């Protein structure tokens, strides 16, 4: 069973992050590959471009964004790849670049993976 956590891309990478997966479609602005210390850039698991643009990180749209993103995740074949990664790595950190640490897609992705029983809390 893996443990999954989330972390902003701009926070310093640490050894206890384990396997670091960037879950954004766009590379974080101003961040070098060396500083990001990403093991895998997994664009396919991020919200669709249309959904991301619609949301625009507006707090009043977050609940609807959550619903729509979970619907996308449920239909996304890439979820199988995430599940496979979680079986291979004891600690996985989902890395994202949004400014708001509570209202972003990585929070939803982590909850989604926990809900389908692929990780330990």
Note whether 3 and 120 are within 8 A (CB).
Answer: yes
| Residue 121 or 11, more confident | 11
| Predicted pLDDT at 121 | 46
Is 119's pLDDT higher than 80? no
Q: What tens digit of pLDDT does each residue of 64-76 get?
A: 999 999 999 999 9
Residue 118 has pLDDT above 70, yes or no: no
**What is the per-residue pLDDT across 77-98, written as a single tens digit (0 to 9) for each?**
988 887 788 889 989 999 999 9
Model pLDDT, residue 67: 97
For 6-53, how does the pLDDT look when each residue is reduced to its tens digit (9 = 90+)?
Answer: 999 999 999 999 999 999 999 999 999 999 999 999 999 999 999 999
pLDDT value, residue 73: 95
Distance in angstroms (rounded) separating the CA atoms of residues 52 and 27: 14
């Amino acid at each position: 069973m893996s443990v999954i956590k989330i972390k902003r891309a701009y926070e310093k990478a640490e050894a206890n992050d384990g396997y670091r997966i960037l879950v954004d479609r766009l590379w974080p602005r101003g961040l070098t590959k060396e500083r990001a210390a990403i093991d895998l850039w997994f664009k396919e698991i991020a919200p669709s471009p249309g959904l991301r643009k619609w949301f625009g990180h507006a707090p009043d749209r977050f609940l609807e964004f959550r619903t729509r993103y979970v619907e996308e995740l449920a239909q996304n074949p890439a979820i199988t790849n995430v599940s496979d990664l979680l079986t291979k790595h004891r600690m996985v950190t989902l890395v994202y670049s949004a400014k708001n640490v509570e209202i972003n897609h990585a929070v939803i992705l982590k909850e989604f993976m926990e809900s389908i029983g692929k990780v330990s809390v």
